[in-house]
Amino acid sequence: MSKPMRCDECGEKAVVAKVLETYAEDLDHDGRKYHVKVRDLPVFECAACGEIEMDTDAAGRLYDALRDAVGIMPAAEIRRRRKELHLTQEAMASLLGVAVSTLSRWETGAQMQQRCMDNMLRAFFDVPALRAFLIRRSGRVDVVAVGGVSAVDPSRSHDSLDVQWSGDRSTG
């Protein structure tokens, strides 16, 4: 068994590793509080003051539980769906009007998108007409929508932006 570590909170040398059967905390996201529970969470706890520290993996599990409680799209799904559309991070960020670094943080899980941006992401992925609108509005000539799926086409000239529809336009 390893020796206790020094607590950052109280300064006592009383921090030990342990697994909490259930860890519960109220966390804020986007101006609202969410009650989050994680089972069998490995932490470091100070026996003197009760301060709890988490490593990156434990914090990630807590973050995933918050994402589930909020009901927003998981990071891996954002990345997977962007790639299914054959979009680079740069192209998708441009169409959404966000910084590439913001989209990158959403895709890696380093940052959770706000609920309004989660709604936008879901619509972007599920509604081809929205992608077509954003492509037209952006004036990007390197992005085309083919068969209802956006794709990057660096060979497109400035005046050759095409938006092709699959199926009936009126159904969106």
CATH number, position 61: 3.10.20.860
> Are residue 103 and residue 59 in the same domain, yes or no?
no
Contact 17/28 with Cβ under 8 angstroms? Answer: no
What is the rounded CA–CA span in Å between residue 5 and residue 153? 55
Asked if residue 114 and residue 29 are part of one domain, the reply reads no
Same-domain pairing of 66 and 83:
no
What per-residue confidence (pLDDT) applies to 17? Answer: 96
**Both 86 and 19 in a single domain?**
no
Q: For the chain, which residues score pLDDT lower than 70?
A: 1, 140-172
81 with 166, same domain? Answer: yes
Rounded to whole angstroms, the Cα distance separating 12 from 10 reads 6
**Per-residue b or e along 20-55, where b marks 16 or more CB atoms closer than 10 Å to that residue's CB:** eeebeeeeebeeeebebebeebebbbbeeeebbbbe
126: helix, strand or coil: helix
Domain boundary among the residues 53, 70, 87 is at 70
For residue 106, the enclosing domain spans 75-171
Is the pTM value of this prediction over 0.75?
no
Which amino acid type is present at position 79?
A: R
Give the pLDDT score at 3. Answer: 85
Same domain, 10 and 53: yes
Whole-number pLDDT of residue 142: 66
Number of domains in the chain: 2
Q: Which of 67, 152, 169, 168 is nearest to 113 (CA)?
A: 67
Same domain, yes or no, for 66 and 90? no
> What pLDDT shows up at residue 172?
37
Same domain for 82 and 47? no
Same domain for 105 and 86: yes
Domain boundary among 70, 101, 116: 70
pLDDT score recorded for residue 1: 56
Query: Residue 153 is part of a domain; what is its CATH number?
Result: 1.10.260
